[in-house]
Homo-oligomer: A and B are copies of this chain.
Amino acid sequence: MSNKPMILVVEDDAAVRNLMAVTLETRGYRYHLAPNGTEALIEATTHQPDVILLDLGLPDMDGVEIIRKVRSWSAMPIIVISARSEDSDKVEALDAGADDYLTKPFSVDEMLARIRVALRRLNADQQAVSRENTCYENGSLRIDYAAGCAWIGDEEIHLTPIEYRLLCLLARNTGKVLTHNYILKEIWGSYTSSEVGSLRVFMAMLRKKLQVGGDAQPYIQTHIGIGYRMLRQDRTTEDAQ
């Protein structure tokens, strides 16, 4: 399938046909139109659409016939759109091979949703592709916020919860000086003077852990009497050599 899914619209009413065309176009679909059964079958074979939207009330051919013919050589999704709302009609079309059945008048949103169902089934695994870029990179330091892990180069560094949150806080404010009080409030919620000692211990720990594999880049800078700052390290050690 190319980037945009292709929909074949089989509908004899020109007004409805055009409405569908506009709707599909604005939603990012490609489409072909067929006003009758004969052309529908030709279009279906020549353009190999991803989904067929099929009106049953066609002038030249019974809609169920079309379903059977298409089904004889293809399993492409067929969504019937029909004015007939009798159970027998639905059952007949569905048993002939249709995948879905919408009765007129129908909601455009519902139709689009059912098209998405058909497309989703076509390539079930393609939906997982859209993955956010949740990574932070700085020098050879990399943080994957989604995974909740950090690496120096290729080596993962194990961080305790407080260490990890501290690193994230510094990373999100790279270049900014964060005061002791601000950090304590962000990490511990509240602060007392005695807790500054803990902060220092964690900073020492972080710095030590950020030095694995001979990576001696000074990520964390001390600002005496104020707080700490994460420095931007654009060149990695690999690049520098």
The reply on A137 being an interface residue by CB < 8 A is no
Give the contacting residue for A107; candidates B87, B121, B124; CB below 8 A: B87
In addition to A98-B117, A124-B133, A160-B224, 17 A-B residue pairs with Cβ atoms within 8 Å of each other are A75-B128, A90-B113, A91-B109, A94-B114, A94-B117, A95-B113, A97-B120, A101-B110, A147-B176, A147-B177, A148-B176, A149-B229, A160-B225, A161-B223, A161-B224, A161-B225, A161-B226
Q: List 7 A-B contacts (CB under 8 A).
A: A87-B109, A94-B113, A95-B116, A146-B176, A148-B223, A161-B224, A161-B226
The reply on A215 being an interface residue by CB < 8 A is no
Interchain CB contact under 8 A, A90 and B75: no
List the 9 closest pairs (A to B, CB-CB), nearest first: A148-B177, A94-B113, A91-B113, A87-B107, A161-B225, A147-B176, A87-B109, A90-B110, A94-B117
A-side interface size class: 35 or more
With A90-B110, A91-B110, A124-B75 given, is the CB distance from A226 to B117 under 8 Å? no
The reply on A43 being an interface residue by CB < 8 A is no
The reply on A175 being an interface residue by CB < 8 A is yes
Task: Report the separation of the CA atoms of residues A117 and B75 in the bound assembly, to the nearest whole angstrom.
Answer: 12
Contacts of A88 in B (CB 8 A): 109
Contacts of A75 in B (CB 8 A): 124, 128
- Shortest CB-to-CB span from A35 to chain B, Å, is 27
- Shortest CB-to-CB span from A115 to chain B, Å, is 10
